[in-house]
Structure 1
Amino acid sequence: MNYLINEWKHVFKLDPAKEISDDHLEQLCDSGTDAIIIGGTDNITFDAILELMYRVRRYAIPCILEVSSLDAISPGFDYYFIPMVLNSKEKKWIMDIQHKAIKEYREMMDWDEILVEGYCILNPESKAYKKTNCILPDEEDVISYAFMAEHIFKLPIFYLEYSGTYGDPKLVEKVKQELNKTTLFYGGGIKNVEQAKEMKQFADVIVVGNSIYTDFNDALKTVEVVK
């Protein structure tokens, strides 16, 4: 799996709490994007995740569950991403929830299918930031989190998450300079090809999510400019 994500450039992220038509879903899955991630913050249910997973599985594309709630873990995905929110004030979002999941599901877990993401959430107005009780880091803090992700935790993914707001390309560039083995994901506010192209100069993988539901045609075009 590590080799696989090293080949990725672009992924779409679908929120199971939001509606997407069959036509739009087909266009996303056939767009040339490298994977579909299913995950969200609010109103995430097992049934909604399962239904969306079944719809995506009709297409020949990797389908990943980003686990945000233990109650919503569903079998049948190709891979599972486990977030560690590094800039959370609460230990439970870095370690305790993960510990509980391993304690409960350890015998069922296939670690060839599971990757842990070091998250750094940088939009104080976002639901994810508030839910995980984050602290807003400065530039040196963010760079240090990236260093920790690679050199202390040995994580395969470091995820800069601006969650609906377009971030700072210069910061993304500086973070990328700190990473050699850990793959840099960027997500947040990418609405058009110009933003996709700008962020892809520095991030290994760009994640396009919210604009699927607000600017679908522009979201779709982000694939071709980075692939």
Structure 2
Amino acid sequence: MINTFQTSLAPQPPPPVPPRHHNGSHPILIPTHLPSQSHSKSVLHFLVGMVLLHLFLSIGGFIYLSFKMNYIFLQEKQQPYPAQEFLPVANMQKGQLQEKPTKAFARMLVLQPSVTQIPNQGYLLWDKSHSDLSNISLLHKSSRLEILKPGKYHVYSKVTFSKSDSKRPLASKVMLRKSEVDEEKPVMMAYCSLDSHKVSFPNMCTAMQGEILTLEKGNQLSIWVQDTALVDYEEGATTFGIYEL
């Protein structure tokens, strides 16, 4: 008899058993889809746009601040400062403005005496039209300077002699009179001498002096010489100055 339960095919081995994990859990694989190419381009375009927008905003802000600062600088430059327009200083006690006080000074140039003037009167005259005066007055036929502000002053004189005196040395004295009723007295003096043997050039000498004096209001100063005819009256040769310290 023919056995119908047998086949010519060889028996097949059983399927392999999947490996087991030590913790007993099985990984669950979730199928995912890769992002499309169009979606990646959109994200890239968005990022590039944000960077460009930030760059434009930064440049625009910088330009705006630059114009703003230049405008403010020009506005402040065009506005005058009160301290540059005038020189008054504030009086904090009275709440008013008063001008800065001017220093008293006098720079005098000698005035040549006229032909009708007695040459040996002794006091030099000063040319007011060619001299500088501030808070000091010229009195007594242009021979005395009157102090109007009390204080310490630098007093100087320069007297140049072109002729000698055979009996006395050439002298220059600064005379002080405290008031009209007081007697004057010398407070400064200087001497010089001429060499009568040198005849190849003009014979001259200069008596110069300078002191710091404390003067009161109403004091009067003058320059005395023994003979005004011996003085050299060339411009700048004989001067008299008083400067408040």
TM class, shorter-length? under 0.3
* Greater relative contact order (Cα < 8 A, sep 6+): 2
Q: Which has the larger radius of gyration?
A: 2
TM-score after normalising by structure 2:
0.21
TM-score after normalising by structure 1:
0.22
